[in-house]
């Protein structure tokens, strides 16, 4: 489960990153840039892989808890708890956007759902999304503390810590939108961490 959930997290995060690049370039119907509201097409391409990423990340942290050495079960359990909070918060945001907001947006009928629109830095659900990813950063920090000292885990630990250190760039982004420049490093640290964890689990399965 560790191997395949890490692979799934890597693939889904990369799918989101590609869609986000297209979105910022204005290729999905929006005005482009990090401040523009998405079109229904943009929401679908951005949020579907993001919604699936949540449960895959929870499964990954559950696998990490299973393989954590006895003295490191507590941070592994904390990583699982933080991952569950992340998946719950972001899953709520994305499910509402995909199933309720997007059809209304496509029909031009958004007059009574202004609170639910997903507008960067100017909406309630965008703040909830940033809170969710803040908990993901906490989860990766805790997961790094739970990894064994085996050679295959060292690079993964560095990537997970780097992702965890993005926490202030995410948690404070509503107040300081310019922090997106630092938060965007997630596009490097998170996929790298997932790929390295997949390699770690693959090596462990080979040894087994």
Can you state the angle between helices 40-67 and 73-96, rounded to 10 degrees? 160
> Where do the structural domains in the chain lie, given as residue ranges?
2-207
Residues 163-189 have pLDDT tens digits of 999 999 999 999 999 999 999 999 999
Would you state the structure tokens that stand for residue 125, as one six-digit string?
């659900």
Residue 206 clears pLDDT 60, i.e. is over it: no
Distance CA 38, CA 41 (A): 8
Q: How far apart are the first and last CA of the chain?
A: 14
Distance CA 137, CA 2 (A): 19
Distance CA 138, CA 82 (A): 7
Would you state the structure tokens that stand for residue 117, as one six-digit string?
């629109």
150/7: higher pLDDT: 7
> With contact defined as beta carbons under 8 Å apart, do 137 and 185 qualify?
no
Q: What is the pTM of this model?
A: 0.91
Residue 148's CB: how many other CB atoms inside 10 A? 16
Q: Which residues of 60-98 are buried (b: 16+ CB within 10 A; e: fewer)?
A: bbbbbbebbeeebeebbbbbbbbbbbbbebbbbbbebbb
Q: In 3D, which of 98, 192, 200 has the Cα closest to residue 149?
A: 200
Confidence class for position 153, pLDDT limits 50, 70, 90: confident
Would you state the structure tokens that stand for residue 57, as one six-digit string?
């990340």
Residue 205 clears pLDDT 80, i.e. is over it: no
Of the ranges 16-30, 37-51, 182-196, which is most confident?
182-196
**What pLDDT sits at residue 145?**
94
Residue labelled with tokens 């693939």: 11
Confidence class for position 27, pLDDT limits 50, 70, 90: confident
Distance CA 131, CA 137 (A): 10
- The residues near 169 (Cβ < 8 Å, ≥ 6 apart) are 179, 180, 182, 183, 185
Residues 57-82 have pLDDT tens digits of 999 999 999 999 889 999 999 999 99
């Amino acid at each position: 489960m560790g191997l395949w959930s890490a692979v799934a997290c890597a693939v889904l995060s990369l799918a989101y990153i590609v869609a986000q690049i297209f979105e910022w370039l204005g290729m999905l119907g929006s005005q482009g840039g990090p401040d523009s509201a998405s079109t229904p097409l943009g929401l679908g391409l951005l949020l579907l892989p993001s919604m699936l990423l949540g449960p895959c990340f929870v499964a990954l942290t559950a696998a990490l808890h299973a393989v954590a050495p006895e003295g490191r079960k507590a941070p592994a359990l904390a990583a699982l708890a933080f991952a569950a909070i992340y998946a719950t918060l972001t899953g709520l945001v994305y499910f509402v956007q995909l199933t309720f907001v997007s059809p209304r947006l496509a029909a031009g009928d958004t007059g009574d759902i202004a609170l639910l629109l997903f507008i960067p830095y100017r909406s309630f659900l965008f703040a909830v999304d940033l809170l969710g990813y803040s908990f993901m950063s906490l989860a990766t920090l805790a997961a790094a503390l739970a990894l064994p000292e085996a050679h295959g885990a060292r690079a993964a630990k560095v990537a997970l810590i780097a992702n965890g250190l993005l926490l202030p760039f995410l948690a404070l982004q509503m107040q300081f939108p310019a922090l997106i420049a630092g938060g965007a490093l997630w596009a490097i640290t998170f996929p790298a961490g997932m790929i390295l964890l997949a390699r770690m689990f693959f090596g462990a399965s080979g040894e087994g």
